[in-house]
Amino acid sequence: MKKKISISVIAVVILFTTVSFKSDFFEIAKQIEIFTTLFKELNMNYVDETNPAELMDAAIEGMLEDLDPYTKYWTEQEVEDAKINRSGEYSGIGSTVRTKDKVMTIIEPRKGYPADKAGLKAGDQIIKIGDISVTDFEGDAGDLLKGAPGSDINITYLRQGKTAQTTIKRAEVDVDAVPFYKLINGNTGYIVLTKFNKKASAQVKEALISLKNDGADNIILDLRGNGGGLLIEAIRICNLFLPKGEVITTTKSVVKKYNKTYKTQEEPVDTEIPLVVLINGTSASASEIVSGGLQDYDRAVVIGARSFGKGLVQRPKPLTYGTQLKVTISRYFTPSGRCIQALDYWNRDEKGNAVRTASQDYKEFKTKNGRKVFDGGGVFPDIEISSAKMSPITKALNKDNAIFEYATEYYYNHQYANLEEFRFNDADYEDFKKFLKKTNFTFETETEIAFAKALEQAEKEGLKKDVSSAYSQLQKTIEDAKNKELDDRQEEIQNLLVDEIVKRYFYRDGLYEYQIANNKEIAEAVSLLNDINRYQNTLK
């Protein structure tokens, strides 16, 4: 009898599963058929000539727009670009470039690579690549910079209002995950990890062993500005400091095959050496897996500012004609059970922006030693440094490229023979504020948005005339407060200015050397590691 009941239950489950699958399949097939017929009729009958490829791209973008920003359609070239990012190797000019509104700008030429050898500088605007004008090129003009090693490419560029030309000989470019490591004060190993490509764990391991051999008895792992990358590399990096068999992250999804637990697989390098991890608001994804995992095991003290709070895992899915869909397949959870996703992409405000998880909704979890940690808003540092934060005005300055543009202007107005000569003082910051006025930099606060909505409502209710005078005065007050914010956030903003400016003169190595001597987060990490009682008490 029991056997019959069991068989009946299984049959019912299969029936419902099959019905559910068929229902979903029918709905998908139905919508595809509707779209296919619409697309065909539109292209065959529209009054003007249409471009099917552009229409389809717009349709795909529209379909993905309401999902999270990490679910994306990749063209064939973007698929190749993703492979390059993962491998850390490509052939080209060895420079980061940004193309916006048909303007291609050199962001950072790497020292000793083709663009640098050819004399290109950050801020240069490339206007022609060979005989092709950047403004006339359909697609990503940055693809034209790639090519076979040893091949020449003629570049026409604009610098400080003057046009110039140069020839670049392309070469193999290696993008190191660890561009810098050094022994500080004879006993502290400092390792900078900028990305989680296929080289990440091997290079961190190499740096760690080298520093220990040189006398390091404590380590700083700098993940500030690291936006993430390969999940498996994050697991392997944790494994350098944690025993074999420890859970680092768990992924959960409505699709059961994506539910997976990731554990350390190898013997560690060192499970005892005191460790500090530096993070900030642009540390995301794999950076949060490492910092959150080491924090949950009380294996490291995390210093800096709250991380970005991505909390989502993507996987590329092959499509036809060499294209791919990079789709969010799951959320990841730290060893204590935290999901550190900060933005809710399925609940948006009136402007369509994802809603940030409110602090009162954070849930409490416990580390291995019983310390309180929280979910919902990124990884929170154990020791917070105020100047490491990114306030709204600082984010707006970055988004508007104001810091980058000022660094370009500063570079051509100041000369330094070496890093020791470099100084950025209050007078320079005042000059930066004048630059913002000259370039008409503006940003809108949440307060302004709220009051603008209130004025719209007042107009609907026939009260605009009565409140407009008070609203004008309020706007002036807000504007004064925004100007004051530039002074109140001077340290925070100035740190970013100095970082960008130092790179112009002394490249990445110079930036890291400058930070070792001047950065508050690094100074706090060194101080903590040299006070073993304070370090241990922080982890209790």
Identify whether the C-beta of residue 109 lies closer than 8 Å to the C-beta of residue 94.
yes
Which has the closest alpha carbon to 91: 101, 83, 102, 100? 83
Collapsing DSSP to helix, strand or coil, 333 comes out as strand
CB 539 within 8 A of CB 301: yes
Amino acid identity, position 510: G
Query: Taking a C-beta distance cutoff of 8 angstroms, is the pair 291, 46 a contact?
Result: no
Buried b / exposed e over 166-180, threshold 16 CB at 10 Å, is eebebbebebbbbbb
Task: Give the dihedral of Cα atoms 379, 385, 390, 393; nearest 10 deg.
Answer: 150
For the chain, how many helices (H) and strands (E)?
Answer: 15, 23
Tokens 């930066």 locate to 432
Rounded Cα distance between 109 and 155, Å, is 14
In sequence order, the β-bridge partners of residue 279 are 304
Write phi, then psi, for 424 (nearest 5 degrees).
-130, 110
Only one residue has tokens 């109140």, namely 488
CA dihedral (6, 11, 16, 21) positive or negative: positive
Contact 345, 328 (CB under 8 A): no
CB 151 within 8 A of CB 169: yes
* Spatial CB neighbours of 206, under 8 Å, sequence gap ≥ 6: 178
Residue 416: which residues within 8 A CB-CB, separation 6 or more?
A: 422, 505
* Burial category of 378 from C-beta neighbours within 10 Å (exposed 0-12, middle 13-18, buried 19 and up): buried
Sign of CA dihedral 162, 167, 173, 179: negative
- Note if 169 is an active site residue: no
Q: To which residue do tokens 């637990």 refer?
A: 261
**Which helix H or strand E contains 220, and what residues bound it?**
strand 218-222
CA proximity to 383, closest of 539, 230, 185, 258: 539
Catalytic residue among 72, 121, 146, 310: 310
| d(C-alpha 371, C-alpha 301), whole Å | 12
Q: What is the end-to-end Cα distance of the chain in Å, rounded?
A: 57
What region does 514 belong to: left with phi over 0, alpha with psi -120 to 50, or beta?
alpha
Annotated active-site residue 20? The verdict is no
Residues sharing a CB contact under 8 Å with residue 211, sequence separation 6 or more, in sequence order: 181, 183, 189, 191, 219
State yes or no: is 310 an active-site residue: yes
**Catalytic-role residue among 68, 116, 296, 375:** 296
Given 95, 201, 283, 285, which residue is catalytic?
A: 285
Neighbours of 37 (CB within 10 A): 10
Three-state DSSP state, 371: coil
Tokens representing 77?
């070239």
Residues identified as active-site:
285, 296, 310
